[in-house]
Amino acid sequence: MGARDAVIVGIGWSDYPVVPELDAMDHHVLALRRALADCGLDKSAIDGYACAGTAIQLDDAATMAEYLRINHRWVDGTSVGGSSFEFHVQHAAAAIEAGLCDVVLVTYGSDLLSRMGRRLGTSTFSAGSGRVRGPSQFESPWGNVLAGSYAMAARRHMHEYGTTPEQLAEIAVGVREFAGLNPLAQYRDPITVDDVLNSRLIADPLHKLDCCVISDGGGAFIMTTSERARDLDQPPVYVLGAAGAETHWNISQMPDFTTTAAAQCGPEAFRRAGVRPEDVDTIQIYDSFTITVLLLLEDMGFCQKGEGGRFVETGVLRRGGRQPMNTDGGGLSACHPGMRGIFLINEAVRQLRGDGGEAQVPGCEVAVACGSGGFLSCISTVVLGKEGRS
């Protein structure tokens, strides 16, 4: 371990799932305040900042740094959808270890649920104009929607490997079990596999309970050096390894509907961390849809390609299982305010600290956060540890 090893020292969430009195910027602010209070750091110490957004929506890095009054000497505006914050961890860790900055703040905020039906906004995936450019022109005439993109991946996986709707439903059931322990979760009532299969069909073969919720919410985390962390209020969580990759952006350009970029960045992150998938105690994974989870698990190496369905059927991801997943209730049940990757980081840190309450994973030493952005497009894997690399 070195004095400039990158660690996460503060985490904070804004309120969710629906907070009509807060706009997106308010969520950034509330999460920031709570992250600062968590670690006992003064905002003036922050000299690096990252967030994901667009100038059109006024939540880009430059705008938010001004609004939050962050005087930075390093900034990262990487915005690749839900995995942006895992990319931020990788970039911030490299910047800290290189001495480009000492304390990095990462924030996110969204009022996605509260603003629906009240005012017009620009979609994360829209071009911002009436003209359709690039590969999207081959999709738009057919009315392809977000769920439809994932449904194609699910159907192809079923065709190639015999994966069943029941196996996908098992993922939603397990995540809901943890949501029942989270008083803020949008949905907390227990569900069964039959409940998932009997819920409304959204895009064949995905049912309503195979799809993430829509919510408000935000988060923040603070990174610094292991040396600086000694003076702060919380034990540091070490960034052991991180990697990202992209194979496409538009779903029509996906090279293989059954394989994501996690097949590249997952093994690379584990190699950098010096651990293996079987060493992981908890998995925080982007659950925009149940099929997202299945593909990322396979591609990161938690099971072989095509065996994801049988893997989740064993209960390994459930409460009391060998590698519990999405212990806050996930995007399928707790919250999904548009881009959920920051929640994966925060929950992994919470588990490694031992602050999980009823949802705590016993003996949690190593955690993985894997974000998915776009349409199974940009993937980033982060390996976090209670102890640093030896």
Q: What letter would DSSP give residue 80?
A: B
In a domain, 249, yes or no: yes
Q: Which two tokens stand for residue 27?
A: 């969520």
Contact (Cβ atoms closer than 8 angstroms) between residue 41 and residue 9? yes
Q: What is the domain extent for residue 316?
A: 6-115+213-385
* Contact indicator for 239, 89 with CB cutoff of 8 Å: yes
163 within a domain of the structure (yes/no): no
Print burial letters for 315-330: b (CB count within 10 Å at least 16), e (below 16).
ebbbbeeebbbbbbbb
User: How many CB atoms sit inside 10 A of residue 141's CB?
Assistant: 8
Cα–Cα distance measured from residue 253 to residue 11, given in angstroms and rounded to the nearest whole number: 36
DSSP assignment of 26-76 equals HHHHHHHHHHHHHHT--GGG--EEEE---TTTT-SHHHHHHHHT---SEEE
Neighbours of 146 (CB within 10 A): 18
Residue 146 included in any domain:
no
Please check whether residue 212 is in contact with residue 288, taking contact to mean a CB–CB distance below 8 angstroms: yes
Domain harbouring 368, CATH code: 3.40.47.10
Q: Identify the CA nearest to 368 among candidates 266, 232, 257, 261.
A: 266
Q: Where are the alpha helices (DSSP H) in 180-289?
A: 193-198, 226-229, 262-273
136 part of a folded domain: no
Distance CA 321, CA 316 (A): 4
Q: Containing H/E element for 94?
A: helix 84-97
- 339 belongs to a structural domain: yes
> How many domains are there within the chain?
1
Strand ranges, E, within the chain? 6-13, 48-51, 74-76, 104-110, 201-203, 206-207, 217-225, 237-246, 282-285, 366-373, 378-385
81 phi, psi to nearest 5 deg: 80, -155
Domain membership flag for residue 94: yes
Q: Provide the residue-wise pLDDT of the chain in tens; the chain has 390 residues.
A: 788 999 999 999 999 999 999 999 999 999 999 999 999 999 999 999 999 987 667 889 999 999 999 999 999 999 999 999 999 999 999 999 999 999 999 999 999 999 886 544 444 444 444 567 777 777 777 666 779 999 999 999 999 999 999 999 999 999 999 999 999 999 999 999 999 999 999 999 999 999 999 999 999 999 999 999 999 999 999 999 999 999 999 999 999 999 999 999 999 999 999 999 999 999 999 999 999 999 999 999 999 999 999 999 999 999 999 999 999 999 999 999 999 999 999 999 999 999 999 999 999 999 999 999 999 999 999 999 999 876
User: Residue 218, Cα to own-chain centre: how many angstroms?
Assistant: 12
Is residue 137 in a domain? no
pTM (2 d.p.): 0.94
By CB atoms closer than 10 A (0-12, 13-18, 19+), residue 194 is: exposed
47 domain residue, yes or no? yes
